[in-house]
Homo-oligomer: A and B are copies of this chain.
């Protein structure tokens, strides 16, 4: 049995008895063997979430999907099913700061990040050489007040054209329109350079320095129309002290940002994130 017969299945639906039994029944029907399974029921909202990785001698995705659907469709689930080997496709948006982009591409290049990166978009031309090095098409779409809507429309076209599953804002310094955010809900990941909800908005390191915090952080979250308020995927912090200047915080922060963003992208790449309203269930 080769890797193309490994599947990842996620289900979100209202909780009730017997869901796991139905799924397990479907897997048995395709001679499936569970390799990894996680389940969580949010007691507040009554939402059941599940992620299963299994292998099956049945190689045809549609055949497996038909069996699963026949068992669980009456539950009214949100369901995803795919071959593990058929990677999610990510578009990276970047401005001038290149550390997150470099980090994602490095992990992509060495096989650590199971995702495809078919296209990079930027409002600056700075990172073209990096994209070239990894042979990823690079679209330079400069943004000004007059062309902002048009350029965003162009991004949406590229998303369509390249069959993009997820847009990764790797320090992209443009606010996306509400319309864009709504269309792409749950499919745009941003890295914010603070430990949210502290220091929402601009210049978080400057403000962290002024406030005299003893730890700085970074937050990867889904983007919504409400700036820096989207569902959090991953966070981390690093210790700092009085002797660190704002410039020092920026440097230290780079290390936190790239690790947090790459973790979030990997969680997405492996279908480990399930959105439940304003919160995320992360099967890490």
**Residues on A facing B (Cβ under 8 Å):** 15-21, 24-25, 27-28, 31-43, 99, 102, 106, 112, 195-199, 210-215, 217, 231-237, 241-243, 245, 251, 254-255, 259, 276, 278-282, 284
Contact = CB atoms under 8 A, between A and B. Distances in A.
B41 A39 contact: no
Given A99-B106, A237-B237, A40 B278 contact: no
A228 to B, nearest CB: 11
Contacts of A282: 214, 241-242
A232 B259 contact: no
A196 B213 contact: yes
Q: Give this chain's copy count.
A: 4
Q: Which of A16, A21, A102, A198 has the most CB of B within 10 A?
A: A21
A10 to B, nearest CB: 14
Q: Is the interface of A mostly helix, strand, loop or mixed?
A: mixed
A245 B210 CA distance: 33
A249 to B, nearest CB: 12
Contacts of A25: 21, 24
Given A40-B243, A195-B215, A197-B198, 17 more contacts: A16-B33, A17-B27, A17-B32, A36-B39, A37-B39, A38-B38, A112-B251, A212-B278, A212-B279, A212-B280, A214-B233, A215-B235, A215-B237, A242-B276, A242-B280, A242-B282, A255-B259
Contact of A39 (B34, B102, B234): B34
Nearest to A102: B106
A248 to B, nearest CB: 10
A33 to B, nearest CB: 4
9 contacts: A17-B33, A19-B34, A21-B27, A35-B41, A43-B245, A112-B254, A215-B217, A237-B237, A242-B280
A99 B20 CA distance: 41
Nearest to A243: B40
A35 B36 CA distance: 18
A242 B241 CA distance: 18
Given A17-B28, A21-B24, A199-B197, A278 B39 contact: no
A40 B242 contact: yes
Contacts of A245: 43
Contacts of A37: 20, 37-39
Nearest to A254: B112
A54 to B, nearest CB: 9
B31 A36 contact: no
B17 A284 contact: no
